[in-house]
Amino acid sequence: MHNIFEATPENISKAAQTIQNGGLVAFPTDTVYGLGADVYNPAAVAGIFAAKGRPSFDPLISHIAEIDFLPEYAETDSRVMDLARHFWPGPLTFVLNRKDKNHALDLVCSGLPKIAVRMPNSPVALELIKKSGTPIAAPSANKFKSISPTTAHHVLNSLGEKVDMILDGGRCQIGVETTIIDLTTTEIVMLRAGGLSKEELETYTGEKVAISHGDPNKPSAPGQLLKHYAPSHTLRINVTEPKDNEFYIGFGNVPNAHLNLSPNGDLREAAANLFAYLRFADQQNNFQGIAVSPIPENDLGLAINDRIRRASYLE
């Protein structure tokens, strides 16, 4: 029916090919169905936000299939690896420091120095990740702010044809999203309650787990600080006439731009280019500032404007 495919080995291979080709695949995990794309393909990752109607580039969780791959992907220590070996595969996401400055990961990480990673307890998900040959970025496979999907038909009803393939692996066992913990701090901080309880974590580690309640000065998840994604150059937004000393990032039909997020006004293309272009502009030392064209306040434009507003915020 439609784009739902039974999770046979043949269809999982076909789905992996779709991921490699920059497409979107919805797949079952132990918690809820995820909407997956190649973590290293910013245009595909932007497609996740577009399909969900997610107005803000919240950091996405990377899904991996091997515990031993984690040290290659993120900064780890003995505590991190011990928790991974005990709780993975399972409904627990780690927030860790990024291993390198691979800028292909900027959109997945919302331009932040941290990355969220998990290993799902689902044979279908693990096989898909292995066959894709890349970590898969995946939030829940539903429209933004709608109920999380626990069956393939939930995904179809919510996202329809916006997904290239929906792998049907039956109903998810847990049915709520993962617990997210920040392991970049000395104490373990729970950023989101989910499929693994605070008590289970405390029993295993023998230490108290702190809970972050979303104070902007101590954000509960990456991306909540007002001053954020900030370049060292001053940044002006909604600019139609840049100053002579400003590096001008255009959008749409803007003839005098140094770089253009999307010459033909494609918001998905603009989203994929945003962090790379801001970074490049900030490296141009012969300019005193950065100016960005007006960007429509609709669809992915909401997320783009959210990010450049934060980047331009003056304390």
Q: Tens of pLDDT along the chain (315 residues)? A: 579 999 999 999 999 999 999 999 999 999 999 999 999 999 999 999 999 987 677 889 999 999 999 999 999 999 999 999 999 999 999 999 998 878 899 999 988 889 999 999 999 999 999 999 999 999 999 987 777 899 999 999 999 999 999 999 999 988 888 999 999 999 999 888 889 989 999 999 999 999 886 554 444 454 444 444 568 889 999 999 999 999 999 999 999 999 999 999 999 899 888 888 988 998 999 999 999 999 998 878 887 887 788 778 765
Q: Quick one: how far is CA 76 from the chain centroid?
A: 20
Sign of the alpha-carbon dihedral angle for 102, 47, 275, 95: negative
Beta strands 25-27 and 34-38: pairing type? antiparallel
The tokens for 160 are: 């329809």
Q: Is omega for the bond preceding 255 within 30 degrees of 0, making it cis?
A: no
Looking at residue 60, what DSSP letter applies?
A: P
Give pLDDT, residue 218. Answer: 47
Give pLDDT, residue 214. Answer: 57
Give pLDDT, residue 43. Answer: 95
Domains of the chain: 4-211 (3.90.870.10), 234-312 (3.40.50)
Q: 């140094």: which residue's tokens?
A: 258
Pairwise CA distance, residues 149 & 35, whole Å: 10
Q: Is omega for the bond preceding 89 within 30 degrees of 0, making it cis?
A: yes
Give pLDDT, residue 226. Answer: 44
Give pLDDT, residue 215. Answer: 53
What is this structure's pTM? 0.84
Pairwise CA distance, residues 92 & 195, whole Å: 7
Beta strands 136-137 and 34-38: pairing type? antiparallel
Sign of the alpha-carbon dihedral angle for 55, 188, 32, 149: negative
Beta strands 189-192 and 114-118: pairing type? unpaired
Q: Are 29 and 125 in contact (CB under 8 A)?
A: yes
Q: Are 312 and 231 in contact (CB under 8 A)?
A: no
Give bridge partners of residue 291 from the DSSP assignment. 236, 248
Question: CB count, 10 Å around CB of 39?
Answer: 29
Identify the H or E element spanning 86.
helix 78-87
